[in-house]
Structure formats: C-alpha cells, structure tokens
Amino acid sequence: MDDNRFLFEIVLLLSVAIVAVLLFRRLRISPMLGYLAGGLLVGPSGLALIADVEMIKLVGELGVAMLLFSIGLELSIKRLKLMRLEVFGLGTAQFILTATILAGIVYALGVSARGAFVIGAGLALSSTAIVLQLLSERREIASRLGRVSFAVLLLQDLAVVPLLAVVPILGTGATDWTAIALATGKAILALALIMVAGRIVLQPIYRTVARDLGPEVFVALTLLVVLGTGWATAQAGLSLTLGAFLAGLLLAETEFRHQIEADIKPFQGLLMGLFFMSIGMQVDLGVAAQNGWLIVLLTLGLIWLKTTILFGLCRLIKLPWMLAMRTGLMLSQGGEFTFILIGAAALVGVVPEPIRQICLAVVSASMILTPFIAIAGKALTDRLERSTPIGLAVIEKENLDLGKHVVIAGFGRVGRIVARLLESQRITYVAIDHDANNVLEARERGLPVYFGLAEKRDLLWGVGIDRASIFVVTLNDADTTLRLAASIKARLPELVVVARARDSRHARELFNVGADVAVPETLEASLVLGGAVLKHFDIGQGEIETALGALRADRGFLLDADWSPADKPAPPDAAEQTSEPELRSEPEQTDK
C-alpha cells in the first residue's frame, strides 16, 4: 500500500469514528456500538473503503490488550477478598453453567467438540467495555447492580486468560493429554518467570522515572511495559493480551496504579474504538443476510438463556429479584473477548469460517440491543420499586455483602460531590438522606441512597456501618453533625469519621467528640477562590498548587483560619464522660 493510500485510510477511519460516536452519543447509545457501525460502513461488506483490514485488526487488538491491562490493575488482593462471593461464587457459576449449556447446544448442531467448547466459552462472556460504559453513564458503578455486574465481568475476564492459552493447543489437533499437560506447564513456567522478574525490576524503575524524569517518560514506560510483556508472552507461545493482563497485575499493588490508570485511559478508549471498528469490518453482511432469521433467533435465544441463568443464580444467593433481573439483562450480550477467542480458534482451524461469521453477527446484534434492553429493564424495575416501599429488612438484605465501604450521611450538594468522587474510583458507598426528593431522584438513577434519619441506629446498622471503613457526615445542621459524630465514635471507635464543619469553632467541637477529620467548608472554598485569583495573573497551575499546598501545610495558617487533624485536641478522659451519647431520632437537615 502506498503512503498516500495509508494516510487516506487513517483520515477516513478517524472521520467515520468521530461522526459515528457523535451520532450514537446523541442517541444515548454506547459509543462502542458507534465504532462497530462505522466499521460495518467502511469495511469490505459496506462501502469497501478500507483495503488493509488486517492492519486495523492488529491495532485494534492493542485496545483489547489495554483493556486487560486495566483489569489487571483493578485486581488488588483487598478488592478480591471483598468481592469473593460475587466473583468466585456467582461469576464462576455463571461462566461454567452458561458455557456448558451453550457448548452442548452448539455440539448438538453439528460443530466439533473442540469448536463447541470454544464457542460455548466465548458466548458465555459479556462485554466489559459496553456494560461498564452503560453503568458509568448512568452513575451506577457504585450501586449494587454495578458491584454485582463488575464482579461477574471480572471473573469472565479472568477466565479469558487460560482460554487464550488453551486455544492454540486445541489447534494442534493433539489428543495426547501428556502433550497438552507439557504445553500447559511450559506456559505456566513462562508466566511465573515474567511475574517474578517483573516484581523485582518494575517497581524500582517506576520510582526512578517518577522521581527524576518527566510525565511523558512515565507514560512511555507504561506503554513499554504493556507491549514488552505482551511480546514476552507471545514468544512463549501465548497471546499479547495475556501479557498485558500480567503487566496490570504486576503494577496493581504499587503506589503508581492510579496515575497509570489516568495515563492509559485515552489510549485505551481510542484503541478499543479501533478494535470495534475492525470487528465491524470483519462481519460479512452477505452471510448475515443469507442467515437473517437464524441470526435473529440465535441472538434472542442467547439473550434469553444468559438472562435466565444469571437471574436464577442471583436469586440462589438471595439477591433481590429486581436486582437479579437487571443484572441478567445487563450481562445478556456477547463480549469483545468472544470475538478474540472465536477468531483465534478460526485461525487454527478449530472453528469453521462460516460458523465464525454467524457468531460475529449474533454477538454484534446482541451488543447493539444491550442499551435498549438495559433501558427496558430499568424502567420495569423502577415501576415495581416505586410501588414497593423499602423496609429495613430489604435494606439489610441489599447491603449484606458490603464491607470496607463508605457510608454517607446526607445526600445534598456536598454528599453528591463526595459520592461522585467515590464513583470515579469505583469505591463502594451507601448514602442516607431525609429529603424524599433527593432520595427519589437518586434511586431513579440507580444510586444506593436510602430514605431515613442518619441518627437512627437500626438504619445505620442496616447499611453496614459496623463493617464500613469510613463514615462521612455532610449535613449542614451543626448540632446534628456533632451528636452523630459523638454517637458513632462512642460505639465504633475504630471507624474513621470525616465530617463537614461549619467553621473552625465547629471543627474544634467535632475533634473534641472524636471525629478523625473535620473540614470547615469555608477553608477549601477560600483556597480555591484564591487559586482562581492567582490564575488570573497568568501564574502557572503548578505554582498555584504549590502555593495552596504550602498554606494547607502551614500550621500557623491553619490555627488562625481553620482546624486540621494535626491540630486535633486531646479527647476528654473516660472518667469525664458520664454517659455514652445517644443516637437520637429527631429530623436533621440535609446539605441543600
């Protein structure tokens, strides 16, 4: 291909991608489906404007590698422990049961046992990219639906790792289990060497780069780690995407994880878009047209089967039936890794090309239907939920699995901002508010917000305050905030209490009753306002942050302006406390 032609195709791809994503966003549909539609339009089955589909396919696979890398970054041991029931219980059961049933159906239709195994396992997977995008757009990442869906998707993505290693072995045609065991052992040894070498080498290198070199070198190092680990696993006869996943695991427990996530996000989004465009280019519309009714039936059958299985399993572990229904519908489509697995199996002759084309069409159709299915499921459960009052028993049941989460008292302006920050980092929270309108609006968005008085002990224990890591009080009623902080610290002294203070005097009172952090609302507002003034004088953002940081660290300034945890007065002696503060039940004011 000449240089001018290649440049034209790049310009064309970017133009189509921008227009398609803009259109789909206007329609409130996942942009990933816009990329898929754009690929169909310019691919061989559409206008045939792209000649080198393989090059786009290769670049798109880097997007999947970046997705697996980010999943590896999420896999901290602490998170897996907290989600072990959903991940290793519900997720494992869903994948094994769905894959087994689908493989049996495919085998009964005449596909070989190996092909049926790969297709069944591939169709059991759901789309991490589309589901997380939908949950994020609807601000449901931190909701119970978000937690359960993420747990199942996490197990599915973990299952992809051994499947990517098994597919090449299936392609050899070997039936000797000894040969398969040796190949598996070789793969495990290679992975162990990469993991050990990475743990020894990576952290010191990152520390050196972060300390001595610029942010652009930090980003370059991350890309080098992803691609270098992928190249190493490819040399061991495994896949590039498996290497990217391992690279994420190596960096998951380091102090650089959050910065790395922020750095790769633009690359991941663009490359995942190119991946979906490459899938659209591979779909043969001729085969789809010839098998139109079959594809429609298979798509509806796949959605029904996956929804039914996941609904039943959710009910088996006693999740509320409305949550079980929404979870089943949300995860009823095929996934991006379905394309990868079945495509890899087709390359080694395990899955025939016509069967691959039908699978591509079915999975693509199920993805396209996902936003509409999610909207319908939300509308149905919302209508039923509005007619069913949420009692204390239901609240306790909905939050039974929570641990190390954040409880927010008050869901007004301040509470919502705190919640948004927690959502951005996928930190689980539950909020309580006495304003019925606030609660109704939040519940309609799928947020974990409950109506009631935050001072009611039964309600606090119902949302798992005794298992929480932090209790945040954002109420604008100073007296209620003071009583609530005192009561909670008296009953749960190990729980971290972060409270919104009206001023420095109120902060001093909160520290006296045991609050760990009291933030006067005037302090941060003043600092941000001062920073805006400095920016007006063309002072760089870095210098402004340095100046603000110096003020925050200046003990004299803090003593004069507001209080900080470092200035926390000593708590009163136990002998001086004649009685434990009571949790009261009079209404508090939310931070409107």
pLDDT per position as a tens digit, 127-139? 888 888 788 777 7
Q: Say which range, 156-160, 297-301, 303-307, has the weakest mean pLDDT.
A: 156-160
Q: Which of 364, 386, 408 is the last residue of a domain?
A: 386
Q: Which of 44-58, 119-133, 184-198 has the highest mean pLDDT?
A: 119-133
Poorest-confidence range of 75-79, 121-125, 354-358, 464-468? 75-79
Q: 151 and 68 in one domain? A: yes
pLDDT of residue 118: 92
Q: Kind and range of the H or E element at 163?
A: helix 144-171
Structure tokens at 586: 């009079």
SS3 (DSSP) at 451: strand
Under 8 Å between Cβ of 142 and 428 = yes
* C-beta neighbour count of 182 within 10 angstroms: 13
**3-state SS, residue 331:** coil
Confidence bin at 579 (pLDDT 50/70/90) = very low
CB atoms within 10 A of CB 373: 18
Report if residue 581 sits inside a domain: no
In a domain? residue 492? yes
Asked if residue 22 is part of any domain, the answer here is yes
Residue 173 reports pLDDT greater than 70: no
pTM here? 0.66
Report the C-alpha gap between 310 and 308 in whole angstroms. Answer: 6
Q: Is residue 252 part of a domain?
A: yes
Backbone angles phi, psi at 250, to 5 degrees: -65, -30
> Do 358 and 240 share a domain, yes or no?
yes
Q: Per mean pLDDT, which range of 39-43, 129-133, 161-165 is the poorest?
A: 161-165
Q: Rounded mean pLDDT of 488-497? A: 86
Q: Stretch 278-301: mean pLDDT, rounded? A: 85
Q: In which domain, by residue range, is 540 found?
A: 392-576
524 domain residue, yes or no: yes
Give the model's pLDDT for residue 46: 75
- Predicted pLDDT of residue 104: 93
- Say yes or no: 349 and 417 in one domain: no
Confidence label for 123 from pLDDT (cuts 50, 70 and 90)? very high
Tell me what percent of the residues of the chain surpass a pLDDT of 90: 10
Secondary-structure breakdown of the chain: helix, strand, coil percentages, each rounded to the nearest 5: 70, 5, 25
- Chosen domain end from 386, 417, 432: 386
The CATH number linked to 286 is 1.20.1530.20
Q: What is the mean pLDDT of the chain?
A: 78
Residue 464 domain flag: yes
In this predicted structure, the answer to whether residue 577 has a pLDDT above a threshold of 50 is: no
Confidence at residue 513, expressed as pLDDT on a 0 to 100 scale: 85
CA dist 326 and 309 (Å) reads 13
Residues 143 and 106 in one domain: yes
Helices (runs of H) and strands (runs of E) counted in the chain: 27, 6
Domain count, the chain: 2
What digits encode the pLDDT tens for the residues 533-569? 877 777 777 777 777 777 766 544 544 554 444 444 5
Domain match, 22 and 112 both: yes
CB contact at 8 A, 418 and 472:
yes
Of the pLDDT bands very low, low, confident and very high (cuts 50, 70, 90), residue 149 is confident
pLDDT tens-place string over residues 220-233: 888 888 888 878 77
The residue that leads in pLDDT, 176 or 306, is 306
Same domain membership, residue 27 and residue 101: yes
What pLDDT is recorded for position 300?
94
Single-letter code of the amino acid located at 113? A
Cα dihedral: 370, 376, 380, 381 (round 10): 30
Interval 202-227 mean pLDDT: 80
DSSP per residue over 72-89, as a string?
HHH--HHHHHHTHIIIII
User: How far is the C-alpha of 244 from the C-alpha of 228, rounded, in Å?
Assistant: 9
Highest mean pLDDT among 81-85, 94-98, 187-191, 449-453: 94-98
For residue 559, the domain's CATH number is 3.40.50.720
pLDDT above 60 for 112: yes
User: In terms of domains, do 418 and 525 share one?
Assistant: yes
Residue 589 has pLDDT above 70, yes or no: no
Same domain, 212 and 348: yes
- Please say if the pLDDT value at position 171 is more than 50: yes
**φ, ψ dihedrals at 297, nearest 5°:** -65, -45
Which has more confidence, 379 or 81?
379
Same domain, 356 and 401: no
Mean pLDDT to the nearest integer, 477-498: 86
Joined together, the tokens standing for residue 98 give 């769905």
Tell which of 386, 418, 437 closes a domain. Answer: 386
Here the tokens at position 13 are: 């791809």
Position 8 scores a pLDDT of: 79
Same domain, 345 and 397: no
How many C-beta atoms lie closer than 10 Å to residue 526's C-beta?
14
Q: What is the β-pairing status of strands 449-451 and 429-433?
A: parallel
* 356 and 414 both lie in a single domain: no
- Whether residue 572 is predicted with pLDDT greater than 60 in this model: the reply is no
Percent share of the chain, pLDDT over 70: 81
Per the domain annotation, does 148 fall within a domain? yes
Q: Is the pLDDT of residue 590 over 80?
A: no
Ranking 77-86, 388-397, 560-569 by mean pLDDT, the lowest is: 560-569
Tell me the two tokens of residue 280. 């659209």
Report the pLDDT value the prediction gives residue 303, as an integer from 0 to 100.
94
Q: Does residue 431 belong to any structural domain of this protein? A: yes
**Chain segment 329-341, per-residue pLDDT in tens:** 999 999 888 988 8
Same domain, 124 and 163: yes
Which SS3 state, helix, strand or coil, does residue 182 take?
helix
Helix (H, G, I), strand (E, B) or coil at 429: strand
